[in-house]
Amino acid sequence: MGKTKKTSPSSFILPQPPFIFLKDESGFNHTDALAACLPSCTVYTGHCAPSKDVVVIYNSQEDHREAVSTADSYREQCIAQGCNFVSINLHVSSLPEAESEWGTNHIDLCVEGMTPQAVGEALYKRLCNVGLGRVRYHGLTE
């Protein structure tokens, strides 16, 4: 049998913090409510850069197809950098016509009648279900 190489825990690379693309069609900016629920995050309203925190990109484009295209661009960049990505579309009442155009890891949430705090908490709970928890443990084996 060949020799197996032992690796030290310091040789492992932990994943980059996730990027959250938030399109808010409700007429309110729920970014602060979501940011308050996250352990640490950086909010951008335009171009963003990698961060040691969770990155929330607030998108206020009115054109739905442009927003989907922008989210796709960010998703591809995140995949190339090994980062997790989720797009979120907040809307009132019915879903937009182009709902099916959103890519993978997408959340649609109707916020009609919800307070900003309730929206933040609902999003946080949904994000935790897909692996964005307050504490994330990575098993390192020898």
Query: Where residue 116 sits, what CATH number does that domain have?
Result: 3.40.50
Each residue of 57-66: pLDDT tens digit? 888 777 888 8
Instruction: Specify if 71 maps to a domain.
Output: yes
Q: Minimal CA–CA distance to 83: which of 10, 7, 13, 140?
A: 13
More confident residue, 15 or 19: 19
SS3 per-residue string spanning the chain = CCCCCCCCHHHCCCCEEEEEEEEECCCCCCHHHHHHHCCCEEEECCCCCCCCCEEEEEECCCCHHHHHHHHHHHHHHHHHHCEEEEEEEEECCCCCCCHHHCCCCEEEEECCCCCHHHHHHHHHHHHHHCCCCCCCCCCCCC
Is 6 contained in some domain? Answer: no
CA distance 29 to 60: 9
What mean pLDDT do residues 13-33 have?
Answer: 78
Domain assignment present for 8: no
Whether 125 is in a domain gets the answer yes
Residue 138 domain-assigned (yes or no)? no
Identify whether 136 is part of a domain.
Answer: no
Query: Would you say residue 142 lies in a domain?
Result: no
Q: What is the pTM of this model?
A: 0.73
Range of the domain at 84: 16-129
| Residues present in the chain in total | 142
pLDDT of 72 above 80:
yes
Alpha carbon distance 4, 81 (integer Å): 29
**Band of pLDDT at residue 103, cut at 50, 70 and 90:** confident
The count of structural domains within the chain is: 1
In a domain, 98, yes or no: yes
Q: How many CB atoms lie within 10 A of CB 72?
A: 15
More confidently predicted of 74 and 29:
74
